[in-house]
Amino acid sequence: MERIKKWITNNFDIKILSLLMAIILWFYISSEYNITSEKYFEIEVTPINLNEKLSIIEIREKISVGVKGPQNIIENLTPSKIIGTIDLQNILEAGEYILGVNIITPKNVEIMKIIPENIRVTLEKIINVEYSVDYNLIGLPEKGYSLKEEPEIVPIEVLITAPESVHKIINQVKVDIDISGINKNISREEKIIVYSKDNIILENLKINPEKVYISIQVREGYPEKLLEIKPRIVGKPAPGFYISKIEANPNNFKVYGEYTKINKIDFLETIPIDVNGISKTLTVKVPPIISEGIYLAENQEILAEVQIQIEEKEEEKIFQGIEIEPREASPFINYQLIPAVADIKISGKYSAIKNVKEEDLKIFVNLSDTDRETVKVEAELPPDVNLVKITPDEVVISIKK
């Protein structure tokens, strides 16, 4: 007993101070843990259990979540520790759906508010479509060699599995084949490349097969081809004139060259011929435009004589409400014409028609025969101008007494 009493009384003041400090620390920790704090976080929403035959077109990727809990936990909380999911397990058809967001928070953290609680999800079908495989040749064979025929591609069609919206933007499915410097037949695998309508490579597509076998036959020499000449005309003839005929002599050229180049062209175009403002037939000698990898065969003309025939346009013109002049009328009779005016349509070459004015036209009736009730309307026109129509072509004669 004495030993216990001695142990208690020994360094009593230090023991009392330690006890007080422990009590103070306990109260501090308890009060800190019991203080509640609130905070909002912007978190990402992850779709789960998506049907393999469906694809997401549109979904809200982030939402706001209000949480509360002990201050020390909330202050150390980050958005990555709050999990937001949207369960698509029961969605089996394409369409638009409004679904609730599921939130999982750390221990001792409560959810106050989810903004928004429901989000719109738009889904589309994933479908299989077959596409023909095209090719793009890179480079040229060794000098003196050319392709014997089109590259052979096996298989010529591939199956692409993708959402419907992706299929709508697919423009071309092809392989790049490098033939630079080759001088013998080749056979190898090439990877499929898919291009959008904007000529952008579409990645991460499911393609079956992903590669195709290509075979290329090479031969010595170059194939030949006879190509029509098509003069390239720029500009417009003078006003009132038009191109009536274009002739080239010779009208074709023999060319030779790399198979892949020569196989894609059906004619040769000349350098531009400017006809702007011309009013008569033009004859010029011009060379054809030869693209890279194509060559003119020897022992033939290298210039084409192009004749561009120019003719003047035939035009029509209408004048309305021109007064009809009575001729050969008796001075003792008071005539009245019904109607007293007429419309006239004339035609002729542009140069003859363009300056014709109303005062240049004379519309009249011959009243020498007054026994008739109607009389034909006639016209006097300038040189090189033709009458198309007078409306009306007859008028009524009324005699006033």
Q: Which amino acid is at 377?
A: V
Least trusted range by pLDDT, from 29-33, 64-68, 290-294, 327-331? 29-33
CA distances from 96 to 16, 62, 117, 119, 295 (A): 71, 18, 17, 10, 60
DSSP-derived secondary structure for 255-292: EEE-HHHHTT-SEEEEEEEE-TT--S-EEEEEPBP--T
Measured distance CA(69)–CA(33) in Å, rounded: 9
Residue range 19-71, pLDDT digits in tens: 667 666 655 555 555 678 888 889 899 999 998 889 888 888 898 988 888 88
- Mention every residue, 6+ apart, whose C-beta is less than 8 A from residue 222: 146, 256, 257, 258, 259, 262, 295
CA distances from 214 to 61, 177, 218 (A): 44, 8, 13
Residue range 37-47, pLDDT digits in tens: 888 889 899 99
The pLDDT of residue 372 is above 90: no
Question: Considering the entire predicted model, what is its pTM?
Answer: 0.53
Mean residue pLDDT of the chain comes to 86
Measured distance CA(132)–CA(135) in Å, rounded: 10
How far does CA 307 lie from the centroid of its chain? 38
CA distances from 202 to 127, 160, 209, 218, 266 (A): 16, 12, 16, 32, 32
The reported pLDDT for the residue numbered 328 is 84
The reported pLDDT for the residue numbered 9 is 59
The pLDDT of residue 252 is above 60: yes
The reported pLDDT for the residue numbered 23 is 64
Q: Does 224-312 match 133-220 at the fold level?
A: yes
Measured distance CA(200)–CA(307) in Å, rounded: 45
Measured distance CA(375)–CA(337) in Å, rounded: 9
The tokens describing 34, both together, are 């019991």
Measured distance CA(151)–CA(190) in Å, rounded: 12
The 3-state DSSP class for residue 164 equals helix
- Do residues 217 and 259 make contact, with C-beta atoms less than 8 angstroms apart? no
Which CATH fold would you assign to the domain 315-400? RNA Polymerase Alpha Subunit; Chain A, domain 2 (2.170.120)
pLDDT band at 72 (very low <50, low <70, confident <90, very high): confident
The pLDDT of residue 401 is above 60: no
CA distances from 229 to 293, 298, 305 (A): 18, 17, 10
Least trusted range by pLDDT, from 147-151, 182-186, 345-349? 147-151
Q: Which amino acid is at 314?
A: E
Burial class (CB in 10 A: 0-12, 13-18, 19+), 314: middle
Instruction: Give the domain ranges of the chain.
Output: 2-34, 36-126, 133-220, 224-312, 315-400
CATH node for 36-126: 2.170.120.30
Average pLDDT over residues 217-246: 90
The reported pLDDT for the residue numbered 11 is 61
Bigger pLDDT: 14 vs 58: 58
CATH node for 133-220: 2.170.120.40
CATH node for 224-312: 2.170.120.40
